[in-house]
Structure 1
């Protein structure tokens, strides 16, 4: 949910900026779709109940996000060839707004507008905070302080896996990786959420080990000795895979399917650049889509809205991304590209604004009223423009400057 086209490009590459505007458009539309999905709980519950069995805009938006991340992230690392620069850009991209959201959530709790999610009280404060600071809380079975944070756990896991693959020069084997994760999801499909490493009792140890490994994995980018740097990168990738398979809130098939979807985006990027045949890329992505759809029918209790909604949402996500690629040479309207640039703010902050709405406006339980939803979206976009303008963009600029000095 947190990629940006500027990190993929050299500052002077104006043609590339225009060419990748379609990714901004997809991210912007996907972020608004997720915000609308959650807003319908509050403002139009009856309309939501009528639609959710056929189409889930939240699933659609999240899967589009994952495809975009898969398309951009490995390319960003490979373009610069520097793990150190990669991590600096990632940390400056994600954490500034994450900190703003965390502070806002605490302030809402202090003034009594909203309480921190009750499930978190089963964990000691240090464990809960560290799990969220690493952004791996959903893979450590620690409840998310804000519901949308679960996707950041899989984003971070993807980063760690990509860096680990880069360490052993396996990052180009995207088609094989798609096959491994897809087949792995089928093999482990009979397992529910494993929780083999944590749960409430083992969480402090699991969180502490995860924190140490992640510090070593990211910090190893600054180590001069190649062997130690490679060991840290591999440790981070191994940690991510272990947590996806053996731990977390979601079943292994779901987590591995997410990784398969993300690497599908990578496969399409390689096809566009001529390192993978288009026929191979299309077959690989079609296989991921078919198997992931089938998983929803195999595990209907684990997909919101049921298997029909799961199927329609996944197919439309694939069609949307494909349409975006097909129109990639067309110029994207400025307002749509701008929406994409602040999509991370839209995604991360809309649940907090909904908490404020709950405490002030209340919920429409007996009838649907779309007018407050429209007002909510308008206010959300104004808030997100401000956070992008004064938080995200300045910190991204500083991150790029620091990364250039460190290269």
Structure 2
């Protein structure tokens, strides 16, 4: 039965679709290897799902900060939204590894403490340490985006989302066309993984604390420090090519630009131009990149463009009724995203991957996964959000003065009714 019209139902639907596609991408290694070999050169399912997720995050996350007008409350909201389930899944994976039913990644010469600290910051993908679970790498780019969003907010340049998206995309295209290729984890190789993790962790903690303070000077310095950290780590220490790391950030800021256009903070024509430039630069970057076959590039480009089309279609349907299964799937999408690699790791280590396609096993995997995700959402995600919401409303949490925005942003903050995003804390 379809739900009533919801301004945010389309975003839930997009997250649900993206989560299913990412699960299919990873589970196809195990259950549909033959079909995967045929599909991936034409369509990169992982990049499609990730880009849709990034567009949705870009649309929602900065609006959450600007609606509250308080950096401290924003970080509390992000932590209680992301960390409880993340900690539960990582702990479960470590237990499975100790019990011998899952294979823990090889950390090489890195100390356990270094890997642990890197994961707690959620910047592990950008700090030269292996990801405990294969999906955690995208959270590092999300965290970098959060740091950049806070930086722009504290220096009062947050309204320039379209310009930021275009700048990042153009730099990616120019670098790819010029053949600029940086070594993987270049900073880690130069400074050492341990020192880099220690330095980046300290900078991140200090930046968040200062940006959340009541002092305008400290708030500005903390925001800038966090933004600089993100802008250094993404291009110079990521494991994806330089151009792709910049494109992923550009995509998130493009989502923000679309949100601003929809809420009258900027022109829709400007957002459309930004979308065209980002898309063109992404295609140029993918073709200009020196590594990989033509088919790999084609698969990436197809996925990227289809992600933009999917987001545009969702935006066009924002005032239509969205089926409840889709909105419900979007509600548990974070659980779906984090829990499925744990189940796959256990299956791969105990039973092993199939050499031939087994569609029935693929369907059975989804049938087991989704009920478990309902449970983790209800008993881990939802209580974490409730705790965070109570913590955010405790006396003193809002002690930092609000950063005043321009009139369009103030009108958004004074909307007569709280939206579902505010209630969910996304």
Task: Name the TM-score class by shorter chain.
Answer: over 0.9
Task: Provide the rounded CA distance (Å) in 1 between the counterparts of 2:67 and 2:379.
Answer: 28
- Paired residue secondary structure (2:393): helix
Partner of 1:8: none
Aligned mate of 2:40, from 46, 52, 61: 52
8 A Cα contact 1:56 1:305, kept in partner: no
Task: Provide the rounded CA distance (Å) in 1 between the counterparts of 2:295 and 2:363.
Answer: 24
Output the TM-score relative to the length of structure 1.
0.92
8 A Cα contact 1:175 1:267, kept in partner: yes
Task: Provide the rounded CA distance (Å) in 2 between the counterparts of 1:303 and 1:353.
Answer: 32
Partner of 1:138: 125
Partner of 1:65: 53
8 A Cα contact 1:303 1:310, kept in partner: no
> Are 1:159 and 2:146 matched, yes or no?
yes
- Paired residue secondary structure (1:188): helix
Partner of 2:92: 104
Show the 5 A alignment for 1:108-257. Answer: 108-118=96-106, 120-189=107-176, 190-194=179-183, 195-199=185-189, 202-257=192-247
Greater shift in the superposed pair: 315-324 or 183-192:
183-192
Please report how far the alpha carbon of residue 336 of structure 1 lies from its aligned counterpart in structure 2 after TM superposition.
1.4
Task: Provide the rounded CA distance (Å) in 2 between the counterparts of 1:187 and 1:44.
Answer: 38
8 A Cα contact 1:304 1:310, kept in partner: no
- 1:127-160 CA-to-partner distances (Å, cap 9, x unmatched) read 1111111011111121111111110000000000
8 A Cα contact 1:24 1:338, kept in partner: yes
Q: How many residues were matched structurally?
A: 391
- Paired residue secondary structure (2:198): helix
> Are 1:397 and 2:386 matched, yes or no?
yes
CA RMSD of aligned residues (A): 1.8
> Are 1:307 and 2:297 matched, yes or no?
yes
Please report how far the alpha carbon of residue 226 of structure 1 lies from its aligned counterpart in structure 2 after TM superposition.
1.8
Partner of 2:277: 287
Gaps of 5+ in 1: 1-14
Task: Provide the rounded CA distance (Å) in 2 between the counterparts of 1:239 and 1:68.
Answer: 23
8 A Cα contact 2:103 2:345, kept in partner: no
- 1:113-137 CA-to-partner distances (Å, cap 9, x unmatched) read 122112x133111111111110111
- Paired residue secondary structure (1:121): coil
Greater shift in the superposed pair: 190-199 or 121-130:
190-199
Output the TM-score relative to the length of structure 2.
0.88
Task: Provide the rounded CA distance (Å) in 2 between the counterparts of 1:313 and 1:279.
Answer: 25
Seen in structure 2, the aligned counterparts of structure 1 residues 351 and 160 have a Cα distance that, compared at 3 Å, is same
Please report how far the alpha carbon of residue 315 of structure 1 lies from its aligned counterpart in structure 2 after TM superposition.
1.1
